[in-house]
Structure 1
Amino acid sequence: MKKVLIVTYYWPPAGGPGVQRWLKFAKYLPENGIEPIIYTPENPHYPLKDPSLEAEVPSELKVLKNAIFEPYAVAGMLSKKDTERISSGIIPKEQKQGFLQKFMLFVRGNFFIPDARKFWIKPSVKFLSEYLKEHQVDTIITTGPPHSMHLIGLELKKALGVNWLADFRDPWTQIGYHYKLKLLPASRKKHEKLEKEVLQAANKIITTSFTTQKEFLSKTNRPVEVITNGYDVEQVEKLPLDGKFSISHIGSLLSGRNPENLWQAFYELILENEDFARDFQLKLVGAVGEPVLESIQKWHLKDRLVLKDYVSHSEALQLQRSSQLLLLIEIDTEETRGIIPGKLFEYLVSERPILAVGPVDADVQKIIKETNTGSYFLYPQKREIKAYILEQYELFKKGELKAYPVGLQQYSRRALTRRLANQIKQL
Structure 2
Amino acid sequence: MRILILTAFFPPQNSIASLRPYSWAKYWTLLGHQVTVLTPGKQISSTDLDFENPGYSVIEVDLPSWLRRLKHSYQGEPPQIKDSTRFFSIKNYLKRKAVAFFNTLRHSKGIFNSCRMPDFLDFWKKRAWDELSKEEPWDLVVSTSGPYTVHFLADKLKKKKLARAWIADFRDTWSNSFIYPGIFPFNLLEPYFEKKLMKNADFITTVSSPFASVLEKLHGLNKVHVIENGFDPEDLKTLDKRPIFPQDGKLRIVHTGTIYLGKRDPSPLFAAIEKIASSPSSRPLLNKLEVLFPGPYQANLSSLIEQYKVGDWVKMPGFLSRPEALRMQRDADYLLFLPWNDPNIDGVLTGKIFEYLFSKTPILSIGCEKIEASQKLILEAKAGLSLGNAANIYSFLLNILEDKKEKPLLENDSFLEKYKRNFLAKQLINLVIGEKNTI
Query: TM-score, normalized by length of structure 1?
Result: 0.84
1:313 aligns with 2:325: no
Q: Secondary structure at the match of 2:258?
A: coil
- The 1:418–1:103 alpha-carbon spacing in structure 2 relative to 1, beyond 3 Å, is closer
Matched, 1:68 2:60: no
Per the TM alignment, residue 200 of structure 1 is displaced from its structure 2 partner at its CA by 2.2
User: What is the identity percentage for the equivalent residue pairs of Structure 1 and Structure 2?
Assistant: 26
Contact 1:245-1:281 within 8 A present in 2 as well? yes
Q: Which has the higher helix share?
A: 1
In the other structure, the counterpart of 1:142 is 143
- Measure the CA separation in 2 of the matches of 1:193 and 1:70: 31
- Structure 2 residue aligned with 1:415: 423
Residues 29/188 of structure 1: CA separation in 2 closer, same or farther (3 Å cut): same
CA distance in 2 between counterparts of 1:82 and 1:174 reads 32
Aligned to 1:201: 200
Moved more, 230-239 or 279-288: 230-239
Residue in 2 aligned with 1:226? Answer: 226
Matched, 1:50 2:47: yes
Q: Is the CA contact 1:115–1:146 (under 8 Å) kept in the aligned structure 2?
A: yes
Give me the whole-angstrom Cα distance separating, in 2, the residues matched to 1:198 and 1:296.
Answer: 44
Equivalent-residue separation in structure 2 for 1:157 and 1:287 (angstroms): 37
| 2:174 alignment partner AA | W
Could you say which residue in structure 2 is the equivalent of 1:169?
171
Quick one: distance in 2 between partners of 1:70 and 1:148? 19
Q: Residue deviations 1:223-279, cap 9 Å, x none? A: 211111112122112334763111111123333433322210122234453453221
The CA distance in 2 between the partners of 1:392 and 1:200, in whole Å, is: 54
User: AA paired with 2:314?
Assistant: L
Q: What is the CA deviation profile of residues 157-208 of structure 1, one whole-angstrom value per residue up to 9, with x for unaligned ones? A: 22226210011111112334322x4x11x31111111121233221001101
C-alpha RMSD of matched pairs (Å): 2.9
Instruction: Determine the C-alpha separation between the residues in 1 that align with 2:130 and 2:373.
Output: 39
1:10, distance to aligned residue in structure 2 (A): 1.2
Post-superposition Cα deviations, 1:277-315, rounded to whole Å, max 9, x if no partner, equal: 221111111124352111112212101123212111111
* 1:347 and 2:346 are equivalent in the alignment: no
1:205–1:223 contact (8 Å) kept in structure 2 = yes
1:370 corresponds to 2:380:
yes
**Which moved further from structure 2: 148-157 or 271-280?**
271-280
SS of 1:247 mapped into structure 2? strand
Give, in whole Å, the separation in 1 of the partners of 2:72 and 2:209: 40
| Paired letter, 2:161 | L
What does the per-residue CA deviation read over 1:381-411, in whole Å, with 9 as the maximum and x for residues that have no partner? 222233344454466x133544443511111
Task: Report if aligned partners of 1:165, 1:206 keep a CA contact under 8 Å in 2.
Answer: yes
Alignment partners' CA distance in 2, 1:353 and 1:275: 24
Q: In structure 2, do the counterparts of structure 1 residues 204 and 126 end up closer, same or farther at CA, with 3 Å as the change threshold?
A: same
Residue type at the aligned position of 2:346: R
Q: What 5-or-longer segments of structure 2 have no aligned partner? A: 79-95
Question: How far apart are residue 105 of structure 1 and its match?
Answer: 5.6
Question: Which has more radius of gyration?
Answer: 2
Q: Describe the SS at the equivalent of 2:219.
A: coil
State the shift of 1:323 in Å: 0.7
What is residue 91 of structure 1 aligned with on the other side?
A: none
* Residue in 2 that maps onto 1:127: 131
**Aligned equivalents of 1:373 and 1:71: distance in 2?**
48
**CA displacement at 1:70 relative to structure 2:** 7.0
Give me the whole-angstrom Cα distance separating, in 2, the residues matched to 1:332 and 1:45.
Answer: 34
1:329 alignment partner in structure 2 = 338
Distance 2:343 2:161 in 1: 38
Contact 1:207 1:225 in 2 (8 A): yes
Tell whether the 8 Å contact from 2:346 to 2:372 is kept in structure 1 after alignment: yes
How far did residue 23 of structure 1 move? Answer: 1.2
Residue 117 of structure 1 corresponds to which residue in structure 2?
Answer: 121
Note if contact 1:174-1:335 (Cα within 8 Å) is conserved in structure 2: no
Q: In structure 2, do the counterparts of structure 1 residues 253 and 26 end up closer, same or farther at CA, with 3 Å as the change threshold?
A: same
Which residue of structure 1 aligns with residue 86 of structure 2? Answer: none
Instruction: Measure, in 2, the Cα distance between the counterparts of 1:300 and 1:110.
Output: 34
Conserved? CA contact 2:136–2:162, under 8 Å: no
Alpha-carbon contact 1:330-1:336 (below 8 Å) kept: no
1:250 aligns with 2:256: yes
Flag the 1:75–1:357 CA change in 2: closer, same or farther, 3 A: farther
SS in 2 for 1:38: strand
Q: Distance in 1 between matches of 2:104 and 2:189?
A: 17
How many Å separate the matches in 2 of 1:76 and 1:61? 29
- Cα deviation, residue 368, structure 1: 0.6
| Residue among 283, 306, 315 paired with 1:297 | 306
Residue 208 of structure 1 contacts residue 340 of structure 1 at CA under 8 Å; is this kept in 2? yes
Letter in 2 for 1:166: A
Instruction: Report Cα offsets for 1:336-375 as digits up to 9, x if no partner.
Output: 5322221211111222110123553522012111101112
Aligned residues: 400
Inter-CA distance 130–161: structure 2 relative to 1 (3 Å threshold): closer
**Residue type of the alignment partner of 1:375:** L
Q: How far, CA to CA, are the matches of 2:349 and 2:225 in structure 1?
A: 15
Q: Structure 2 length as normaliser, TM-score?
A: 0.82
Look up the match of 1:94.
none
Contact 1:365 1:376 in 2 (8 A): yes
Contact 1:255-1:288 within 8 A present in 2 as well: no
The answer to whether the Cα contact below 8 Å between 2:258 and 2:296 also exists between their aligned partners in 1 is yes
Structure 2 distance, partners of 1:122, 1:358, is: 44
CA distance change for structure 1 residues 265 and 104 in 2, over 3 Å: closer, same or farther?
Answer: closer
Inter-CA distance 109–327: structure 2 relative to 1 (3 Å threshold)? closer
CA offsets per residue over residues 72-93 of structure 1, 9 Å max, x none?
Answer: 634346553289xxxxxxxxxx
Counterpart selection for 1:237 from 235, 240, 250: 240
